[in-house]
């Protein structure tokens, strides 16, 4: 399913285990994550429906290195592909266990052009995204925060009433708890997660509810 969330912002919901793909249209065209390779036709068809060709995409921002988030990245030859260094190194090494490619039956390892840095500002006018480093689901997980629009693209760090799993290679529940504490102080009204529906509502209550499920282990 493809949905317009607001002006210049769309989401592609995968019909399987693939990630959500967010489309930001401004002076440049950017994607946040790219889903599984098996969703290539559905994704490109959705983009074509709003007049975007594969060659029109300028930038791909990855929340982390898992296969369900990077599968269609190679479809966009002109786009700069970016990821946090901790995860990008695993992609460069074609690490099937770390990227979960072995579990998801996908052998896609896109070339990462540059590394995302903590607190870096990425301008995609009218969007202005700050890179928020949130290890825990993987060592290189990040969120993208637009303070003016009060949006948080959370990858697999946070969902509605849930957080990312930490039992895969590179996961750490203690780090995830610390990351959740950190994003708790961000002011945002809309959560745009890596899977599932976009959640609009009281984000502080949502994060507090998730932290309570982990209470007693680390605080």
218 occurs within a structural domain: no
Q: How far apart are CA 63 and CA 82, in angstroms?
A: 9
Give me the mean pLDDT over the 136-163 stretch: 97
pLDDT of residue 95: 98
pLDDT of residue 213: 86
pLDDT of residue 214: 81
Question: Where does the pLDDT of residue 217 fall: very low under 50, low under 70, confident under 90, or very high at 90 and above?
Answer: low
| Domain interval for residue 43 | 2-213
pLDDT of residue 15: 87
Give me the mean pLDDT over the 135-143 stretch: 98
Give me the mean pLDDT over the 130-138 stretch: 98
121 occurs within a structural domain: yes
Q: Render pLDDT for 50-62 as a digit per residue (tens, 0 to 9).
A: 999 999 999 999 9
**Does residue 219 register a pLDDT over 80?**
no
88 occurs within a structural domain: yes
219 occurs within a structural domain: no
**Does residue 120 register a pLDDT over 60?**
yes
Give me the mean pLDDT over the 76-88 stretch: 98
Instruction: Write out the DSSP string of 76-110.
Output: -TTSEEEEEHHHHHHHHTT-TTTTTHHHHT----P
Give me the mean pLDDT over the 198-203 stretch: 93
Q: Render pLDDT for 166-188 as a digit per residue (tens, 0 to 9).
A: 999 999 999 999 999 999 999 99
CATH number at residue 56: 3.60.15.10
pLDDT of residue 218: 45
Return the percentage of the chain with pLDDT > 90, whole number.
95
132 occurs within a structural domain: yes
Domains: count for the chain = 1
pLDDT of residue 180: 96
Q: What is the pTM of this model?
A: 0.96
Return the percentage of the chain with pLDDT > 70, whole number.
98
Q: How far apart are CA 84 and CA 112, in angstroms?
A: 10
User: What mean pLDDT, rounded, does the chain reach?
Assistant: 95
């Amino acid at each position: 399913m493809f949905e317009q969330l607001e002006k210049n912002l769309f989401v592609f919901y995968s019909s399987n285990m693939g990630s959500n793909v967010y489309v930001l249209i401004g002076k440049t065209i950017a994607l946040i994550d790219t889903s599984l390779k098996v969703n290539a036709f559905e994704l490109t068809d959705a983009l074509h429906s709003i007049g975007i060709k594969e060659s029109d995409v300028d930038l791909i921002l990855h929340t982390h290195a898992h296969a369900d988030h990077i599968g269609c990245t190679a479809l966009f030859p002109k786009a700069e592909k970016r990821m946090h260094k901790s995860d990008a190194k695993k992609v460069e090494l074609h690490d099937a266990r770390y990227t979960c490619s072995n579990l998801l039956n996908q052998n896609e390892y896109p070339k990462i052009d540059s590394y995302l840095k903590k607190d870096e500002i990425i301008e995609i006018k009218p969007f202005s995204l700050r890179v928020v480093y949130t290890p825990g689901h993987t060592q290189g997980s990040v969120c993208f925060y637009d303070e003016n629009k009060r949006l948080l693209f959370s990858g697999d760090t946070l969902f509605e009433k849930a957080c990312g799993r930490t039992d895969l290679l590179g996961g750490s529940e203690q780090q995830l708890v610390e990351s959740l504490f950190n994003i708790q102080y961000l002011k945002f009204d809309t959560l745009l997660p890596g899977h599932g529906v976009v959640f609009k509502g009281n984000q502080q209550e949502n994060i507090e509810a998730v932290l309570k499920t982990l209470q007693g282990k680390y605080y």
